[in-house]
Amino acid sequence: APWVAERFHPRKENTVEAARPPVVAAAAPSMSATGQPRDLSEVRKRAELGDPYEQVALATRYATGEDVPQDYSSALRWFLKAAEQGHVGAQDTLGAYYYLGRGATKDISRAYFWSVLARAAGKSASKDRVAFMSLQLTRAQAQAIQREANSFLKQHPPLMSSDSAY
């Protein structure tokens, strides 16, 4: 329960320092100029060029099996590319994927890292996941991961888009 985590891991020691304000993208990704969804080849091309929103769009297609065979490993790889650029939704998803062992071996430390980042940007699922996972780590492990997350946030401000489903 969250109150247990609070009691044994006080918030001041578990809270990631505030990051710079999130970068907000203006346009909805994965949509053509006509408002129609982009086809798979267009999404893949843009994802390979480094667009984090298109990377999440492609990852989502692999996760759901839309237009491609369902493949959680490929989904995880594309979510990771976007998360490393600060995409909060991808960070939140990676926290869940690593926690569940979806697309990779279950890894509480990685799950905690990505969930701490998403929590810092306000993702409620990550907030709950962090509270639960903190009970599975030693205090020293949790603090070390949080220091890594603080360092990551200083170099990669959260990237969010209010216009995007990704």
Q: What pLDDT sits at residue 156?
A: 85
Q: DSSP assignment of 48-95, as one string?
A: HTT-HHHHHHHHHHHHHTSSS---HHHHHHHHHHHHTTTBHHHHHHHH
Q: In the chain, which residues have pLDDT < 70?
A: 1-37, 160-166
Q: What pLDDT sits at residue 161?
A: 54
Structure tokens at 131: 């509270």
Q: What pLDDT sits at residue 7?
A: 44
Q: What pLDDT sits at residue 30?
A: 55
Calculate the alpha carbon distances from 163 to 1, 17, 28, 53, 75 in Å.
Answer: 34, 27, 5, 11, 22
Spatial separation of the C-alpha atoms in residues 129 and 1, rounded to whole Å: 11
Q: What pLDDT sits at residue 2?
A: 45
